[in-house]
Amino acid sequence: MSGVNVDAPAYDVAIIGAGVVGCAIARQLARYELSVVVLERSSDVGNGTSKANTAILHTGFDCVPGSLESSLVKRGYELLGAYADEAGIAVERTGGLLVAWDEEQSEALPGLQEKASKNGYHQTRILSTEEVLNREVNLGQGVRGGLEVPGESIICPWSTVLAYAREAISVGVTFAFNTEVTGVVFNEDGQCLTTPLGNVRSSWLINAAGLFSGQVDGLCDHDDFKVTPRRGELIVFDKLSRGLISSIILPVPTSRTKGVLVAPTVYGNLLLGPTADDIDDPFATATTEQGIARLLDAGRKVLPRLLDEEVTALYAGLRAATDHQDYQIRSHPNQSYVCVGGIRSTGLTASMAIAEYVVALLVSDGLELIEGGPLPKVPNMSPLGEMQLRRYEDGDAIAVDAEYGSIICHCERVTRGEIRDACTGDLPARDIGALRRRTRAMNGRCQGFYCAAEVVSLLAELSAATPATLTGLTE
């Protein structure tokens, strides 16, 4: 029992990491009579890899058939698609079009179609060059046919994490921010976790630490996989480019990466990316000159007119790639510990299915699930998608609350009412990044040049008026 402080707060389940995976697991556990704590190193949910991805709700057509990832992506696609409709998370069913650019890629299309079928996705269709060009008139020279993947969709990744967390919070799940787990001691009652805010005891432990899942697994005396951050850089083009394509334009994937695609976002922009470079530093989320140059080269070929459009932003995210071709989800019943590692390039889509799978593992290891407490409330998320009725254009909402009629960020048309909601709700924004993910404020073409001063002062004023209640482990 060395290192165990018996006065430390105790929970039935502790989850390390408040990314999309940790929050989905918290939400799933919230429907049972369990005390659950989510320990997160940063100051907000979804502040790691989950905030910087390509935001595609994948059908899983190109997964490795028979893999755990394949089954969880397929199931997650259905679950998250339905949940998004329920919670008001923006989704657009754009469909995807995988384009072959030479004879070799064209010859690979039947194999990709067969692979899709093996992954349980039977709706693909091989298209001739003419059919591809009729659909997407702005594609560059050299198209050699394509594969239609009608189910591929785009989603708001930020609202997804927030919705999971808010639903968990609605029935009392504790989120402890700025709380990095630096040590784990196992004892006969479960675990004692060391954090800068003091120790936490739990009966069951889930490692959903993303890029650090291998490191946390090491703290639990395992050495089953090594995470190598795989950096993906992306370019966000201005909204005027949105009309250049109607669906997600995919390349023929390789064994390492899905490749560089051009995808619409639910906010009305176009994305070009991501790259795929293995690096050492799990904090290296800056974009690079070389990466952006490679993207522009790829973009020039796929959609030449895109390069005439203005760039709104650049960003990079890091995939938790490992030395394995599949997710690294393992339970260790003798430690009451489940590792949910190596959730690489599909974790947003698979998140709800991963949560289901992890809870089933916990049950088979002996966790008793008791129903009967208050049911978690599916939150009604602020409409961030361009295809949704945004607050500034919602006459009924404005009639009830005039602050929805007062626009502060003009590029993204974010209202004073939305900023107020984001700073004062059940999971309040406490910094600009968190506010951007909740509202889109400052994400537009001026990147806050015109509205930053007002947004920052509102954030400061509202934060001071609403003390944060979600950081204490001892409450």
Ligand X SMILES: Cc1cc2nc3c(=O)[nH]c(=O)nc-3n(C[C@H](O)[C@H](O)[C@H](O)COP(=O)(O)OP(=O)(O)OC[C@H]3O[C@@H](n4cnc5c(N)ncnc54)[C@H](O)[C@@H]3O)c2cc1C
Separation CA 364–CA 329 (nearest Å): 14
Peptide bond into 274 cis (omega under 30): yes
**180 touches ligand X (CB under 6 A):** yes
Pick from 70, 269, 349, 382 the residue near ligand X by CB under 6 A.
349
Separation CA 22–CA 354 (nearest Å): 10
Which residues touch 185 (CB under 8 Å, ≥6 apart)? 1, 2, 3, 4, 191, 192, 194
Task: State how far the alpha carbon of 238 is from the alpha carbons of 262, 272, 291, 305, 313, in Å.
Answer: 13, 11, 19, 13, 9
User: Considering beta carbons, is residue 81 or 347 the nearer one to ligand X?
Assistant: 347
- What per-residue string of b and e applies to 412-431 under the rule 16 or more CB within 10 Å gives b? bbbbbbbbbbbbebebbbbe
User: Considering beta carbons, is residue 131 or 224 the nearer one to ligand X?
Assistant: 224
Pick from 26, 29, 50, 89 the residue near ligand X by CB under 6 A.
50
- With beta carbons less than 8 A apart as the criterion, state whether 165 and 22 touch: no
Geometric angle at alpha carbon 369, from 367 and 375, rounded to 5° = 145
Separation CA 21–CA 259 (nearest Å): 23
**383 touches ligand X (CB under 6 A):** no
CB of 229 to ligand X, least distance (A): 9
CB of 284 to ligand X, least distance (A): 12
**Phi, psi dihedral angles at 53 (to 5 degrees):** -130, -165
CB of 310 to ligand X, least distance (A): 22
User: Considering beta carbons, is residue 56 or 409 the nearer one to ligand X?
Assistant: 56
Which residues touch 384 (CB under 8 Å, ≥6 apart)? 90, 156, 158, 159, 266, 267, 390, 439, 440
With CB under 6 A, what is the number of residues at the site for ligand X? 40
CB of 182 to ligand X, least distance (A): 7
Binding segment for ligand X (CB under 6 A), chosen from 47-55, 330-338, 408-416, 417-425, is 47-55
Q: Which stretches of 123-279 are DSSP H helices? A: 129-135, 157-169, 213-219
**27 touches ligand X (CB under 6 A):** no
Q: What is the DSSP letter of 475?
A: -
Binding segment for ligand X (CB under 6 A), chosen from 29-37, 316-324, 365-373, 412-420, is 316-324
Dihedral of alpha carbons 46, 48, 52, 55, sign: negative
Site for ligand X in 200-239 (CB under 6 A): 208-212, 216, 232
- With beta carbons less than 8 A apart as the criterion, state whether 145 and 100 touch: yes
User: Considering beta carbons, is residue 322 or 443 the nearer one to ligand X?
Assistant: 322
Q: What is the DSSP letter of 367?
A: P
Site for ligand X in 413-472 (CB under 6 A): none
User: Considering beta carbons, is residue 211 or 422 the nearer one to ligand X?
Assistant: 211
Pick from 319, 390, 391, 438 the residue near ligand X by CB under 6 A.
319
**25 touches ligand X (CB under 6 A):** no
Tokens of 200: 């936490």
Binding segment for ligand X (CB under 6 A), chosen from 15-23, 384-392, 428-436, 438-446, is 15-23
Pick from 42, 119, 174, 265 the residue near ligand X by CB under 6 A.
42
CB of 80 to ligand X, least distance (A): 9
CB of 454 to ligand X, least distance (A): 29
User: Considering beta carbons, is residue 130 or 281 the nearer one to ligand X?
Assistant: 281
**83 touches ligand X (CB under 6 A):** no
Q: Other CB atoms closer than 10 Å to residue 302's CB: what's the count? A: 24
Binding mask 242-271 for ligand X (x = CB under 6 A): ------------------------------
User: Considering beta carbons, is residue 45 or 143 the nearer one to ligand X?
Assistant: 45
Pick from 15, 20, 149, 441 the residue near ligand X by CB under 6 A.
20
Pick from 54, 191, 331, 382 the residue near ligand X by CB under 6 A.
54
CB of 169 to ligand X, least distance (A): 16
* Nearest alpha-carbon partner for 305 in 143, 140, 129: 140
Separation CA 167–CA 174 (nearest Å): 12
User: Considering beta carbons, is residue 318 or 462 the nearer one to ligand X?
Assistant: 318
- With beta carbons less than 8 A apart as the criterion, state whether 173 and 134 touch: no
Pick from 299, 347, 417, 428 the residue near ligand X by CB under 6 A.
347
**194 touches ligand X (CB under 6 A):** no
Binding positions for ligand X, rule: CB under 6 A: 16-22, 39-42, 47-50, 53-56, 58, 180-181, 208-212, 216, 232, 274, 317-319, 343-349
